[in-house]
Chains A and B, each alone.
Chain A
Amino acid sequence: MKQMSRVVRTITSLTFGYIVIFGFYVIIYGHVTPGGGFQGGVVVASGFALLLVVYGHKKAEEYLNTNLLSFAESTGLIIFIVLAFLGLGFSFFYNFLTNSGGLFGHMPVSGVNPGDVYTGGLIPLMELAVGLEVLSAMGVIVLILSGGATRIKKKKENL
């Protein structure tokens, strides 16, 4: 894949940071406004796909490392499973941090209210783990598909 023109490359390098920040906002405010782990992870992965389309596969591999993304995906899934096992004294997936004084422990006002991000207990931590897993999984899928297709086309042209 070749690079795109200079206008497109300039606009991409200006907007890529905003896309990643908006994706992380959707992940971390998932229990107050619409959104959550899966939706925010897909938003960040669309930023990675934009980088891959504009710069071509060979130059995008210098920015996005496949081994680091694969390691982050495994880390996200392991953190999710460890958080599920933490409340095993009562039951599996027990939310022991909600409505208490610890981390993310405020109690929400009943009924309609402007949202408070510090509520929820174990739910925002689980959303961060799932968001990390989804963004690295989609980044790895897009990079490997594009890299494999480029090499197959080069082999057929050399034959």
Chain B
Amino acid sequence: MKKTIFGIALVFFVAFMILIAVQMRPFGQPTMSHMDDYFIQNTQAETGVNNVVTGILFDYRGFDTLGEATVLFTAVIGVTVLFREALK
């Protein structure tokens, strides 16, 4: 009984998403690209690296990399706590 309700909701959800995906901006022609044009032009002068993605990840948006390193550290803490008594 509950599964049929969820199944009908899933069918409506998939139909809604396909309707959106068909009428989006065509694939290969993105909309506003002012920020990415600035990144591609000025990475070699301001950062000094050849790889634009590494320059974004570690210089322009380094704070996100700090948050991601913390997420990985928290995952290791969680796994160690769950297996504490099996490792004694």
Which A residues lie at the B interface, using CB under 8 A?
Answer: 30-34, 36, 70, 73, 77, 80-81, 84, 92-93, 95, 98-99, 107-108, 110-111, 113, 115, 119-121, 123, 126-127, 130, 133-134, 137, 140-141, 144-145, 147-148, 151-152
Contact flags B42-60 to A (C-beta < 8 A → 1, else 0): 0011111111011101110
Residue pairs across A and B with Cβ atoms less than 8 A apart, 15 shown, are A31-B50, A73-B73, A80-B66, A84-B66, A93-B62, A110-B44, A111-B44, A113-B50, A119-B48, A121-B48, A137-B73, A140-B80, A147-B83, A147-B86, A152-B86
Q: How large is the interface on B (under 10, 10 to 19, 20 to 34, 35 or more residues)?
A: 20 to 34
Q: Across the interface, which residues of A come within 8 angstroms of B70, CB to CB?
A: 77
Name the distance in Å between A95's Cβ and chain B's nearest Cβ.
6
The contact of A33 among B51, B55, B58, by CB within 8 Å, is: B51
When A30-B54, A36-B54 are in contact, do A80 and B69 touch as well, CB less than 8 Å? yes
**Additional A-B contact list (14), CB under 8 Å, known A36-B57, A123-B49, A141-B76:** A31-B54, A32-B49, A36-B53, A73-B76, A80-B69, A98-B48, A113-B50, A121-B47, A130-B65, A133-B69, A133-B72, A141-B79, A144-B79, A147-B83
Do residues B66 and A119 form an inter-chain contact, with CB atoms below 8 A?
A: no
B87 adjacent to chain A (CB < 8 Å)? yes
Do residues A151 and B86 form an inter-chain contact, with CB atoms below 8 A?
A: yes
Do residues A93 and B83 form an inter-chain contact, with CB atoms below 8 A?
A: no
The residue on A at minimum CB distance from B88 is: A151
Do residues A108 and B50 form an inter-chain contact, with CB atoms below 8 A?
A: yes
Name the distance in Å between A41's Cβ and chain B's nearest Cβ.
10
Q: Across the interface, which residues of B come within 8 angstroms of A123, CB to CB?
A: 47-49, 54-55, 58-59
The residue on A at minimum CB distance from B63 is: A93
